[in-house]
A and B are shown apart, each in its own frame.
Chain A
Amino acid sequence: MSRILAVDDSTSMRQMVSFTLKSAGYDVAEAADGLAALELARQEKFSLVLADVNMPNMDGLSLVRALRGLPDYKFTPLLMLTTESTPEKKQEGKAAGATGWLVKPFNPEQLVATIQRVLS
């Protein structure tokens, strides 16, 4: 089963993402910030990481940068979860090594569709 790491400092958002993905049959681990996520990602290899951009301790861009540096995550889809739909933000994400992004607000259907596209 594909195991996904959902990273967001907002509990409700994390719960929603986690619940939605679990309902779609994925196995989900959660982290509240980039640092915690990196720690988890070092312990096991996730099939996909979905990370918020703005977080305390370590933001999403730094997380993506750090993950891309790990051998296990060289080709892993790393998606940014962001409210900023401006091209600059997406550019920053891409430059950091993100695979793509998902623009908030999104509904559960969009989330699952995106993840399925990437993990099918």
Chain B
Amino acid sequence: MSNIDLSRFHRAFFDESLEGLDAMEAALLRLDVGQADAETINLIFRSAHSIKGGAGTFGFTAVAGFTHLLETLLERVRSGQRQVSQADVDLLLRSVDVTRAMLRAADGGDAADVDAVARLGAELEQALEMKPAAVAPVAVASAAAGWKIRFLPKSDIFASGNDPLRILRELDRLGQARIACDSQALPALADAAPETCYLSWTVELRGDCDEGAVRDVFAWVEDECELEILPLPSAEEEGAKDAQPPAAGAVAHPNPSPEGRGAEKPKLKVVEGGKEPTQERRSGDAGSIRVGTEKIDALINLVGELVITQAMLQQIAGNLDPVQNEKLLQGLSLLDRNTRMLQEAVMATRMLPVDAVFSRFPRMVRDLSTKLGKQIRLETVGEGTELDKGVIERIADPLTHLVRNSLDHGLENAGQRIAAGKDPTGTITLRAAHQGGHIVIEVADDGRGLDRERILAKAAERGIPVPANPVDADVWQLIFAPGFSTAEQVTDVSGRGVGMDVVKKNVQALSGQIEISTRPGQGTCVTIRLPLTLAILDGMSVRVGDDIFIVPLNCVVESLQPQAGQVRTLSAGARVVKVRNEYLPLAPLHELFRIRTDAPEPEAGILVLLESEGRKVAAQVDELVGQQQVVIKSLEANYRRVGGISGATILGDGRVALILDVAELVRGYARAAAA
């Protein structure tokens, strides 16, 4: 048994412990110091308790030691010995951080700050007013030739699930046991209650074991028996006079048969009752299981293939005679439905509630509002809204940035708010909701709103180009420009204004959109629209020569057929197209990808205006084919990286279509224009 490698459970231990810490943190934040809710306290206690237990078992002694202090403090709170104070909450929150760092360190991350651990440990000890741990009295191991044990179980000992037989058997393992049963109390069979223990035993245990080991055997039944343990004076024989033969078969429980002294250990025979019918095997379902994301991704991939195959079948079936092939077509339409349901179900396994990122904000808002000296309340709406795990992971940073911006720049301090006739406590609202195939996340504050004049002044100062007579929406867009910051001072809260352009870039990398709405004096709301999953893309399919390309729909601004004279050639040979007083670089896709086309001239084709990172190009294609959802396949994983292409998909007819990397395309033209 000693070859069980506990490290196989470490992953689960780390995962659940970190989750436990998150839960603990959330509970601490909502804890009402005046009147602490028992269930919340319990939850906090349980988290600390579980981590301690696991850490001890899996050999993370430092974590176990630290969480033991936490647990002790929490136990006092739980049992009502200690009123939880604001200082306690702070201490506990910092302990959560330290525990998290220790766990990460144990999980192979950066080493935890030993000083911080020691300092906080000392603080906890101080809070507990712990005296140096008293040395537990060690039972003096008295050596004796053996023990004479008198064991009188109470009559109801069976009701605790303890079986005297088990105890006798265990004693037998400690040495040579000579067991004698006293059945004097046994009534006549007719009067005997089957669930009552009438027997008692005397055991002479010879061997090299101390009294503690003997007492341990009786640890579980201390209160369910009378026990007498005396050292055996010597190896001299004591007559077997107190040993009496057992009353055979009087009690349902098997009796140990006393045996005469011999060289052999007495054998205890267990008579199986022959009950316990074999039961149907049931799985011990615990409500959820942990599965590696790569397994789910493999599943999603396979389902993607299935959808494509299904679409292929559907296309072929379109050419069949509907009357002759009625059954086949019915079957195919059923397959279509089931495939779609399967796809949805599989996608759903990757979905997590957005709470996974929202939950980090209460702590951040609490810490930062203290730091900034502002009164701020955080409200979250729709935290149960689900979206893809990959999207959640990548939206966390942009959201953090937005919340910080609101805290730092958006919301006024209490004095300013009172002067403006507002509630001294500012509110930040995080809201998530599904809209069609998208999720919409809003970060709203009721602060001062964006200041048009200040933004324009700052843009001028930074040399950021501003359109003539800008409307408000244009002005708000300026804050997404690289290097823009309106904070009068650079603070350590929101940093150096590297934020909003990065936020926008991150959102666009997720095929999302970001919008701002604001009202002076009333607040600002930043809205992010994201696809529910990264595995599926809303695309426009366009034809170039004989090939189909997919253009991400969120990049498409408009499509137009250019008139003669709308396209001009510049000196370097590059061409631009004039669309409503704006000159856009022309990107003929057939030239870029070297595809033979019957309509090389822009006037013969269609221009699709694409936008990314605030810049536009006009992509020339032969024809718009349609709009469809496509399952994204990695080109790199299956072939190799190709410039201007972000991925591929398989069309209904089995052909591969490449997905255009609009960001790269736009950047390429911007570089060319700058050169």
Contact = CB atoms under 8 A, between A and B. Distances in A.
A40 interface: yes
B38 to A, nearest CB: 13
B56 A83 contact: yes
A43 B281 CA distance: 11
A24 B58 contact: no
Nearest to A75: B158
A87 to B, nearest CB: 10
A32 B286 contact: yes
A12 to B, nearest CB: 4
A43 to B, nearest CB: 6
B537 to A, nearest CB: 35
A36 B9 CA distance: 22
Contacts of A52: 53
Contact of B284 (A6, A11, A108, A120): A6
Contact of A11 (B49, B223, B276, B290): B290
B160 A74 contact: no
Interface in B350-371: none
Contacts of B81: none
The residue among A15, A47, A76, A91 with the most chain B CB atoms within 10 A of its own CB is A15
Given A94-B223, A97-B159, A28 B284 contact: yes
A77 to B, nearest CB: 4
Interface in A1-46: 3, 5-6, 9-16, 18-20, 23-24, 27-32, 36, 40, 43-45
A11 B12 contact: yes
Contacts, number: 136
A98 interface: yes
- Name the interface size band of chain B: 35 or more
Contacts of A28: 284
Nearest to A96: B160
Interface in A70-101: 74-78, 83, 91, 94, 97-101
A97 B16 contact: no
A107 B6 CA distance: 9
A31 B16 contact: no
Interface residues of A, number: 56
B58 A12 contact: yes
Contacts of B13: 10, 12-13
B162 interface: yes
Nearest to B217: A117
Nearest to A110: B1
B284 A9 contact: no
Contacts of A97: 159-161
A94 B166 CA distance: 18
Nearest to A64: B161
Contacts of B283: 29
Contact of A13 (B57, B170, B220, B281): B57
Contact of A104 (B56, B170, B284): B56
B50 to A, nearest CB: 4
The DSSP consensus for interface residues of chain A is: mixed
B50 A10 contact: yes
A66 interface: no
A10 B56 contact: no
Contact of A10 (B54, B64, B279, B282): B54
A56 B43 contact: yes
Nearest to B45: A54
Given A20-B4, A23-B4, A40-B284, A47 B276 contact: yes
The residue among A78, A91, A117 with the most chain B CB atoms within 10 A of its own CB is A117
A68 B162 CA distance: 13
B167 to A, nearest CB: 9
B280 interface: yes
Contacts of A112: 1
Given A19-B9, A44-B280, A10 B166 contact: no
B270 interface: yes
B46 A43 contact: no
B155 to A, nearest CB: 14
Given A14-B286, A32-B287, A117 B170 contact: yes
B2 interface: yes
B12 A109 contact: no
Contact of B9 (A12, A44, A75): A12
B169 interface: yes
Contacts of B504: none
Contacts of B46: 9, 54-56
Contacts of B220: 94, 99-101
Contacts of A30: 284-286
The residue among B55, B160, B280 with the most chain A CB atoms within 10 A of its own CB is B160
Contacts of A45: 276, 279
Contact of A75 (B56, B161, B287): B161
Nearest to B19: A11
A74 B159 contact: yes
Given A5-B284, A75-B158, A108-B1, A11 B45 contact: no
B616 interface: no
Contacts of B12: 11-12, 15
Given A20-B4, A108-B1, A112-B1, A99 B162 contact: yes
A9 B46 CA distance: 9
Contacts of B64: 105
Contacts of A76: 161
B284 A29 contact: yes
A40 B282 contact: yes
Contact of B161 (A13, A99, A106): A99
B50 A13 contact: yes
A52 to B, nearest CB: 8
A16 B279 contact: no
A109 B12 CA distance: 21
Contacts of A3: 279
A104 B49 CA distance: 11
A71 B1 CA distance: 34
Contact of A19 (B8, B270, B284, B285): B8
Nearest to A97: B160
Nearest to A106: B57
Given A12-B12, A45-B276, 13 more contacts: A3-B279, A11-B12, A11-B16, A12-B17, A12-B54, A16-B9, A31-B286, A56-B46, A94-B160, A94-B223, A101-B220, A107-B57, A108-B2
22 contacts: A10-B13, A10-B16, A23-B4, A28-B284, A30-B286, A32-B286, A36-B287, A47-B276, A54-B49, A54-B50, A68-B159, A75-B159, A75-B161, A77-B161, A83-B56, A97-B159, A99-B160, A104-B56, A107-B6, A108-B1, A109-B1, A112-B1
Interface of A: 3, 5-6, 9-16, 18-20, 23-24, 27-32, 36, 40, 43-45, 47, 52, 54-56, 68, 74-78, 83, 91, 94, 97-101, 104-109, 112, 117-118, 120
Interface of B: 1-2, 4, 6, 8-10, 12-13, 15-17, 43, 45-46, 49-50, 52-58, 64, 71, 158-163, 166, 169-170, 195, 219-220, 223, 270, 276, 279-287, 290
